[in-house]
Amino acid sequence: MTYLKLNELTERFNWQKKEEQIHKKFVFKNFDLAVDFFNIVADAANAQNHHPDILSSYCTIEISLTTHDEKKITEKDLILASKIDELFGNFIGNEK
């Protein structure tokens, strides 16, 4: 699987690095779309057996990634962040 390097994620795709995590906020038109995207991210995380911290607040989903076992950002986080951005692009593109 291809993935973006950390500087690409932060510079081009608005992921924010804070300490040993990367974070991104996704905003939707309504609660139902936010929940749908939450579930899509959960499925992707389960498929990769790498689980982010996800905060849901009405129309907003905030995702934080770190590799808890290593207490730092690893390739696993970069792969999942890249996948989440891909899923978001597809999700928004299919939104009616």
What pLDDT digit, counting tens, does each position of 23-50 carry? 999 999 999 999 999 999 999 999 999 9
The answer to whether residue 1 scores a pLDDT higher than 90 is no
**Superfamily holding 6-91:** Transcriptional coactivator/pterin dehydratase (3.30.1360.20)
Taking each helix axis from N to C end, the angle separating 75-94 and 31-48, rounded to the nearest 10 degrees, works out to 140
pTM over 0.75: yes
Q: How far does the chain reach from its first CA to its final CA, in angstroms? A: 29
- Distance between CA atoms of residues 70 and 93, nearest Å: 35
